[in-house]
Amino acid sequence: MRGHIQVGSLRGIPIRVHFTFLLILPFLAWSFSQAFRAAAIAANVPPERLSGPPILWGLGVAVALFLSVLLHELAHSVYALAKGGAVSDISLMMIGGVSRITRMPDGARHEALMALAGPVTSLVLGALSLGVHLLLAGTDSFNLSFAFFYLGSLNIFLGVFNLLPAFPMDGGRILRALLTGKLGRVRATRVSGWVGQGFALLFGLYALLSGNFLLLFIAFFVFMGAAAESRDVLMQSRLGDVPVREVMSRNTVSVDASATLRDATELLYTERQRALPVVEGGRVVGLLMLESVRQVPVDRLSSVPVRELAQEVPVLTPDATAWEALKEMGQRRLTQLPVTEGGVLVGSLSQEDLLRALELRDLRDSKEPRQQGPWGFGGRENQSPT
């Protein structure tokens, strides 16, 4: 999570702020301050009766926007947790918020409802805020009336905008869930991705014509996000039923936690490895990365034990799927993972192993498309595709 600062947590979900949020905040404050008078007139509030300079109101609105985005993302996360999903964290960044859901709830229906939870939360918050604004109409509470009007308008816009079928935005995820029953998850994702990229191109064109650079950033991330999600689902369909034991390397060299970094360096060189499992008392306690060793001065290699640089790694068993392993590698920025059984090292799985698995499956699919097993490597009776 480079560039993120954790500012709190809720229900065990870390809430992080990316440095780009701090970069965009002054720009948003200035933009909202420029629209201050027009917004006051739209709220039927005399601008001269409002306290404080427009830039201060702009800053308050910008912060309120990101708090609204946080509530929007929390709605996704809480629903996912309630239905058996898993959430890694929530991040606030320049383009809004992102809930990293590492395990989706089972079934397209729950995925659609999870995606819908965010916009519904925004729309309800917007409606309540506008309701308070109307209740305050005709009173002397100009500041409160204007604040609730602005908050309500922002949340209504946030809810409606996210319902656009621009995958991977919420509306696009709902579209994908609706198509999954007829097309299957892979084809539904591909179609939703094309729709999302089409919307991204429209966003980008409008942003260029109007000079809205924030919308241009959003268009870029929607376009790239649609492509990345399509790739992820394709990889999941090809590796989701491949057990790690089928593709892992069994002749794995390890290094003892008490060995020096010089010993480890020689082992990395002779075995031509970029990482080594670290063992202590016969059990795996971490992973030593080549990049970590390179950061240590040469004159200290003989005095620093391996355990000081051993990086904690998740438990990966032979029964786990190759897709689960690939996700862990991506999230932790690792090139390989040790495979353990009862804490004892039984092999390792690298990105090269996964690439080879995909190539072998593609080869088998092309040669024997009607007789392949569920993994394309044999080892089980043939089954119908799910």
Q: Are 39 and 148 in contact (CB under 8 A)?
A: no
How far apart are the C-alpha atoms of 105 and 112, rounded to whole Å? 10
DSSP-derived pairing of the beta strands 255-256 and 275-280: parallel
Q: Are 242 and 375 in contact (CB under 8 A)?
A: yes
How far apart are the C-alpha atoms of 19 and 372, rounded to whole Å? 48
Q: Give every CB contact of residue 124 below 8 A, 6+ residues apart in sequence.
A: none
Concatenate the DSSP letters of all residues of 231-289 into one string: HHHHHHHHHTT-BHHHH-BSS---EETTSBHHHHHHHHHHHT-SEEEEEETTEEEEEEE
How far apart are the C-alpha atoms of 96 and 118, rounded to whole Å? 13
Q: Are 306 and 288 in contact (CB under 8 A)?
A: yes
| 76 marked ligand binding residue | yes
| 72 marked ligand binding residue | yes
DSSP-derived pairing of the beta strands 96-103 and 336-341: unpaired
How far apart are the C-alpha atoms of 342 and 270, rounded to whole Å? 29
| 365 marked ligand binding residue | no
Query: Active-site residues: which are they?
Result: 73
Annotated binding-site members for Zn(2+): 72, 76, 170
Annotated binding-site members: 72, 76, 170
